[in-house]
């Protein structure tokens, strides 16, 4: 079973704001560095928009962390062991 947010999407812990603030960047500065709008950054940080894979990869490179360190998915596969 998946943990679902208010928008009906699977919940993933979003650490973008944490990493942005650690750099001392505003949403506008981060948006400029990534080539997106400030509204896009706000929507990602407030869990209203899931970034595309290319954008998530750019974010991870910019912050020097792996994508799973920015967007943490608690999902674990089911154990398919059979007796």
* pLDDT at position 77: 87
Question: Are 56 and 44 spatial neighbours (Cβ–Cβ below 8 Å)?
Answer: no
Q: What pLDDT tens digit does each residue of the chain (83 aa) get?
A: 445 555 556 678 899 999 999 999 999 999 999 999 999 999 999 989 899 999 999 999 999 999 999 998 888 888 876 65
In the chain, domain spans: 13-72
DSSP string, 43-56: HHHTTS-PPPHHHH
In whole angstroms, give the CA distance from residue 62 to residue 67.
Answer: 11
Which pairs count as long-range contacts for 59-68, CB under 8 Å and 24+ apart, including other chains?
59/16, 59/34, 62/30, 62/33, 62/34, 63/19, 63/23, 65/19
* pLDDT at position 1: 45
In the CATH scheme, what is the code of domain 13-72? 1.10.260.40
């Amino acid at each position: 079973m998946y943990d679902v947010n208010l928008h009906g999407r699977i919940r993933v812990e979003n650490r973008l704001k944490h990493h942005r603030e650690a750099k001392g960047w505003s949403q506008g500065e981060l948006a400029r560095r990534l080539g997106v709008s400030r509204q896009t950054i706000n929507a990602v940080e407030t869990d209203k928009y899931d970034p595309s894979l290319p954008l998530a990869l750019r974010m991870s490179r910019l912050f020097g962390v792996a994508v799973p360190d920015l967007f943490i998915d608690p999902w674990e596969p089911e154990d398919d062991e059979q007796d």
